[in-house]
Amino acid sequence: MNFAPARAWSAFLVLLMGALWPLAFAPFQQSWLAFVVLGLLFFLVQRSSSPRRAAGLGFLFGFAAFCSGVYWLAITLHNFAHMDWALAAAAVALLAAYCALYPALAMGLARRFAPAARWWLLPVFWVFAEYLRARIATGFPWLAVGYTQTGGFLAGYAPWLGQYGVGLATAGVASLGAWALSRRREAAVWSMAISGILLIFAIALFAATQRFTQPVGAPLQVRLLQGNVPISEKWNANRINAILDRYVRLIIASPPGTQLIVLPETAFPIFQTQIPLLIHQLQEWSAKKHAVLMIGIPEDAGQGRYYNATMEIDGMAPLRWYRKQHLVPFGEYIPFPHLLGPLVHHFLPGLGSFTPGTGSSVLPVDGQLAGMSICYEESFSRDVRKGVVEGATFLVNSSDYAWYGHSSASAQTLQMAIMQSLQEQKPDIRATNTGITSVILPTGQVLAALPQFSYGALNASIQPMAGKTPFARLGNWPYLGLSLLLFLIGFLRSRRSRGGAGSGLPMDVGGDDAEGANDDEQHGYDLLPPQTLLEDVMTKKEDE
């Protein structure tokens, strides 16, 4: 019998699932899809005929997910690197292929273990692969499953275990659902799966009631500026004066009592050494109004050192700086510059020349400490956590997402920022060039936001919060410890299953071999042919 059509059908289904994966994230917010899509992927991997085929399913899923989820990179490459759409799409496909290696590795490794252990290990390997993807080289944390739950019950795990812990819980629910589906005629399995899912949600609900931070000092009156300056104008030397005037007008229009004014990333698209008079005038205004200014501006530190930085003006005090530490590859720095520099500068002259910042990740504001990040850094929990470890009582981010046009990029980064607030239980204020400029409460609720692609300012009051969550104190170590524990359980179950030890833990009820999981290994196909797929999913197959 030829089973090639079944394999083609499974490949098509996994590609479709991957293409739908971004719908679970902002701006679509269909978080339930994370459970359904990931559960179905786990189900197919469990039925796959070999680790190699399981890895192939993981790769196809990841490739489709990242092609559809970070398509907006092609906008930048086309509009500003002057690539034609085909070449820009090829570059996105190359990035997607790299990112797809991680789910491929996760699914291939999980398939190597005995069937009874896979349901434990699939979630562990999946989320750990995301953890590696965010750390290897510069890291790329987009579309990690934990972010889908920022508005759901499972976000209760965030201050304890971070977004990877939230992801582990989400993948665990998906795995339990897939396990129940694979043994759909066994009442005991359904009972245990439902009990496990309810337990995961119950613990999350309890975890969400715990508060590790508390108000400190008086509320802070803040003003966030959104200049809405097109990229085509921002770096045009003939438009510099108009851009500076635009922001100065927003600054001096600040309501009385404003204590902190935050401008977007590179809001002043000119080195500080070129506008000493303007800076002095802003210092005088700051001293008169008792308002602190945080201005996104590239810093010329001399000796060939240039920083993407935030300059703090606090009256006539010496200028303070936060220099971006985690730079964007091929935008702010070029990996292997001697090899790749000529190619990058051919498309984008002058890019890749920033120096990674060092030093403190906090700036003082009226007796409080602001945990600083610039653009890309807000997507990395480890970068935001640096400021909290240093004592930050609130978070500040300045960004410019005009590069990505009218795409989902801004909404995705706002969702990541919400997770940072949840993890740290600190308010987060974000000033962006074209949006989404917003104020996020420690509970993850967006208190206020400006419409995208609008010019204006957002005035708000935030309450600084002292104290540290378990995540702030320990980072990802609790998540890693929990993952190790689950891995050991799965590993021992695999050894017992292969050694014929029989059942001993709840998931052994009925034996995975009883319901088609290993039929695929015997017959050598990944999924039933399309004409019987839905029937097999909904009812137990009586005969092979």
pLDDT score, position 140: 93
CB atoms within 10 A of CB 114: 19
Pairing relationship of beta strands 260-262 and 220-226 according to DSSP bridges = parallel
375 assigned to active site = yes
- pLDDT, one tens digit per residue, over 418-470 is 999 999 999 999 999 998 999 999 999 999 999 999 999 999 999 999 999 99
SS3 220: strand
Global pTM reads 0.88
3-state helix, strand, coil in the chain (%, to 5): 55, 15, 30
User: What's the angle, vertex CA 280, arms to CA 275 and CA 286, rounded to 5?
Assistant: 125
CA distance 460 to 438: 9
**Cβ-based neighbours of 435, under 8 Å, separated by 6 or more:** 226, 401, 410, 449, 450, 451, 452, 453, 454
Catalytic residue, candidates 299, 375, 386, 426: 375
- Helix (H) or strand (E) run with residue 296 in it: strand 292-302
User: Omega into 141 within 30° of 0, i.e. cis?
Assistant: no
Helices 32-47 and 85-111 pack at an angle, to 10 degrees, of 60
pLDDT at 327 (0 to 100): 83
Instruction: Write down the catalytic residue from 130, 265, 312, 378.
Output: 265
Q: How many whole angstroms separate alpha carbon 441 and alpha carbon 422?
A: 8
Q: CA–CA separation, 30 vs 19, rounded Å?
A: 14
Residue 215: φ, ψ to 5°: -60, 145
Supply φ then ψ for residue 290, to 5 degrees. 55, 45
CB 449 within 8 A of CB 455: no
Output the pLDDT for position 424. Answer: 98
Three-state secondary-structure class, residue 347: helix
Measured distance CA(48)–CA(108) in Å, rounded: 10
For the chain, how long is the longest CA-to-CA vector? 85
Could you tell me which of 177, 209, 198, 170 has the C-alpha nearest to residue 162? Answer: 170
Tokens of 101: 């290696």
The catalytic position among 130, 186, 289, 324 is 324
At 500 the pLDDT is 52
pLDDT of residue 80: 81
Q: How far is the CA of 473 from the CAs of 159, 160, 376, 470, in angstroms?
A: 10, 10, 23, 5
Predicted local confidence at residue 252, as pLDDT: 96
Q: Which positions of the chain have pLDDT values less than 70? A: 1-6, 330-352, 498-544
Query: If you compute the radius of gyration of the chain from its CA atoms, what whole number of angstroms results?
Result: 25
Write out the DSSP string of 199-214: HHHHHHHHHHT----E
